[in-house]
Amino acid sequence: MRFQLTRKQVLSVVLPCVVLTSYVLLSSQMISYQIFHRVDDDKDNMFITVQNETSPFLVDTSACRIPDLDPMDISVRHWAVRPMGVACPRDLSLTYVVGETIVVNRTEAAISLQKEEGKLEYCRYQTIHHPENGKHNEYTYSVPSERFTASVKVNREFIRVQCYNSSNSVIYTNFHYVTIPLHIDLPGQTSAPSVLMLGLDSVSRMNYLRYMKETQRLMTRLGALEFVGYNKVADNTFVNLVPLLAGKFAEDLPWNENIRHQNFDSFRFIWNDYRDKGYVTMFVEDAPYTAMFDNAKAGFTSKPADFYNRPMAVAMEETEGIWFENHLCVMDQLETDILLDYVLRIVKMAATTGPYFALVYLSRITHDYIESAGTIDDSIHKFLDDLHSKGHLTNTVVLLFSDHGMRYGEIRNTYIGKLEERLPLLNILIPKTFSETHGKYMNNLEINTKRLTTPFDVHEFLRHLLLQDDYTPSSEKGVSLMNAIPTNRSCESAYISPHWCTCTEMISVPVNSSIVLKISNFFVNMLNVEIKNDSHRCAPFVLDEVQSAYLIKPRDKVLKFLSVDHEVLNKQVLYGDAVNPLVHYQLTIRTHPGEAVFEGTFLYNEEYRALSLVSDISRLSRYQEFSQCVSSPKLKKYCYCVDKEISS
């Protein structure tokens, strides 16, 4: 089998009683080499890999260590299947929108002459409204408009078009979002940054890395900050997004299942703060029956934002004959693309009037399957790229985020699956207009990308961004991401329950245990790999002693977690058998010659007996006087010059 290694130094150390066979291991992040290690005396089998990583932890602070695991680890890669393709039917839309005008596509109408329903003779439109004081799922249609055959100008944003044949029978139905200029009196805020929050349901950071390559590349190119320690604080969408949007746990709104029929009109959310400061506000969702404030809840009676698409979304959801491809396409367009185009048009319009605050939350595609993040990648990439290319991100803060990772499916029976469910996606793009004038805030934001963070922190960040110098924290639960999060922050101080906590525990392990002895021998092998090409100048290392060994493992409650019954009232956490974890061992060893002391961290998969070196090796003892025969700074860390050994 062909070899393909991550390091120039190929492992070729021969040890007594050890047979080494190499093969390729492909990873989403790197190509690493893997060695089959057999110890003849006990016939143990162990896979060993070396990965060119700088740190084994996403977060590595005094109170929290979150492991950095491979999204394509051997324990989960067989679930990472190709994303499903969605091919919406072609040439179905006989009407479309230009500005505030509905246009009949006569070319397409001509094609439809052969339909059994008969020739298209004329069309009418109706506007869609939410009735005053109506419940969240209620909507009404206006009386039909006058007949039109070519085009008609409209003055409402939600439109149903129906076209008729010569027998006055409906042969075509479609819905259109029309961007109508907003006539509201808002105080000016011309220089303040706009805020675009784009939420994708059930997308973990790991799954974003697996499947959303185009979006990831664009966000990286634009300089987005990736918050790798973003930890959820509750179970599902609603109870994770209330802390983000309101800065409170759901029960502190207050809300619980006993008052599920009470609407959310009286509660204050972050868009209210922005509206009060003169921002145009927008709240757009797909999948209205499972929306965050509407799934077994009462939603809003009055529209919560200036632009709020729920009446349209419910009307479309209840219309048969317009949905295709498992309810993902509306006629010939992906529903996601229809909504993002609507948002893009509002953003373009709002750019001429002042700043806007937009919350766009998409769940229909990504909620159920791990691979579905790949299905939406192209749409999200195109939307963000359009915003960028048209100049709409020049003074806009973008948050690309999720509520949690995948909560269902077999991957949840693995340690990586449990970990990534708790670590949702959070990328923040800060415009240069802000970063170049707020250096301290930017420095803190960059620091916090590798700290333990929560939805409460995002809420405080949104408030801080709005209030600037007038900002004061709304509660002790969150720390603004524009302030440095303390290094001693723990799950407890961040209000993260033990079963959601991704920080690991560090436990001392006997240095004479069998696993430690195996790792220490492998450790010495890795040291000798580093000097292999200079063995004529550098003496080989031999293990002298293991000075310390620590097991870094996930918390038992994370490994045993099954589910949560009830969102708030009578909430009960259910546990089962622990899954096999991926654990880290951190070893400090002393070697001969020179009594050199080294520290390294290794990942061990108990199920597959796979051992990986996942960190740069640290030299803890002085070495300058022993390595003068080499000039490479990297080699100096490892080399004990042969002439020194002879002279000693």
What DSSP letter does each residue of 141-156 carry, written as one string? EPPP---BSSEEE-SS
pLDDT for residue 606? 80
Which of 76-85, 194-203, 455-464 has the weakest average pLDDT? 76-85
Of 73-82, 150-159, 351-360, 551-560, where does the model show the most confidence?
A: 150-159
Q: At what angle do helices 335-350 and 372-389 cross, to 10 degrees?
A: 20
Q: Among 243, 328, 313, which Cα is nearest to 500's?
A: 243
- All residues at 6 or more sequence positions from 93 whose CB lies less than 8 Å from its CB, including other chains: 105, 108, 174, 331, 332, 333
What is the tens place of the pLDDT at every residue in 473-486?
999 999 999 999 99
Give residues with Cβ within 8 angstroms of 263, minimum separation 6: 136, 298, 299, 300, 301
Contact call for residues 191 and 394 (beta carbons, < 8 A):
no
Tell me: cis bond preceding 89? Omega within 30 of 0 counts. no
What is the torsional sign of CA 326, 327, 329, 335? Answer: negative
Per domain, the residue ranges of the chain are: 506-647
Three-state SS string over 55-115 comes to CCEEEECCCCEEECCCCCCCCCHHHCCCCCCCCCCCCCCCEEEECCEEEECHHHHHHHHHC
Give percent of the chain above pLDDT 90.
Answer: 68
Q: Is the dihedral of CA 367, 372, 375, 380 positive or negative?
A: positive
What band does 49 get if pLDDT is binned at 50, 70 and 90? Answer: very low
Residue 39 has pLDDT above 60, yes or no: no
Please classify residue 211 by burial: count the beta carbons closer than 10 Å to its beta carbon, then call 0-12 exposed, 13-18 middle and 19+ buried.
Answer: buried
- The answer to whether the beta carbons of residues 528 and 540 sit under 8 Å apart is yes
How many C-beta neighbours within 10 Å does residue 333 have?
17
Q: Which residue has the higher pLDDT, 7 or 216?
A: 216
Which residues, 6 or more positions from 290, have their beta carbon under 8 angstroms from its beta carbon? 363, 367
CA-atom Rg of the chain in angstroms? 29
DSSP string, 566-601: SSSTT-EEEE-PPPPPEEEEEEEEEEETTTEEEEEE
Please tell me the predicted confidence (pLDDT) of residue 446: 98
Please determine, for residue 111, whether its predicted confidence score (pLDDT) is greater than 80. no
Q: pLDDT at residue 576 above 90?
A: no
Q: pLDDT tier at 112 (50, 70, 90 boundaries)?
A: low
**Cα 135 to the center of its chain, rounded Å:** 33
Which pLDDT does position 237 carry in this prediction?
A: 96
Rounded distance, CA 461 to CA 458, Å? 5
One DSSP character per residue, 16-60 reads TTEEEEEEEEE-SS-EEEEEEEEETTTTEEEEEEE---S-SEEEE
393, 429 in Cβ contact below 8 A?
yes
> Which of the two residues, 12 and 454, has the higher pLDDT score?
454
Q: Is the pLDDT of residue 283 over 80?
A: yes
Residue of 65, 68, 64, 66 whose CA lies nearest to 490: 64
DSSP SS3 for 277? coil
Pairing of strands 582-592, 542-553: antiparallel
pLDDT of residue 186: 60
Q: What is the model's pLDDT at position 184?
A: 63
pLDDT value at residue 132: 86
Interatomic CA distance for residues 297 and 435, integer angstroms: 40
Residue with tokens 């009683």, as numbered in its chain = 17
- Report the distance separating Cα 463 and Cα 397, nearest Å: 13
Q: What is the pLDDT of residues 480-527, one digit of tens each?
A: 999 999 999 999 999 999 899 999 988 999 999 999 999 999 999 999
pLDDT of 43 reads: 33
pLDDT on residue 608: 79
401 pLDDT more than 80: yes
Nearest to 74 by CA among 607, 616, 613, 561: 607
Q: Cβ distance 549 to 540 under 8 Å?
A: no
Give counts: helices (H), strands (E), the chain: 16, 30
Q: Decide if 584 contacts 552 (C-beta within 8 A).
A: yes
Q: Report pLDDT for 118.
A: 76
pLDDT digits (tens, 9 = 90+) for 363-392: 999 999 999 999 999 999 999 999 999 999
pLDDT tens profile 626-638: 899 998 878 988 9
Report the chain's mean pLDDT, rounded to a whole number.
Answer: 87
Asked if 590 contacts 549 with a C-beta cutoff of 8 angstroms, the reply is no
Averaged over 179-195, what is the pLDDT?
75
pLDDT higher than 80, residue 27? no
Confidence of residue 157 (pLDDT cuts 50, 70, 90): very high
| C-alpha distance across the termini of the chain, in Å | 44
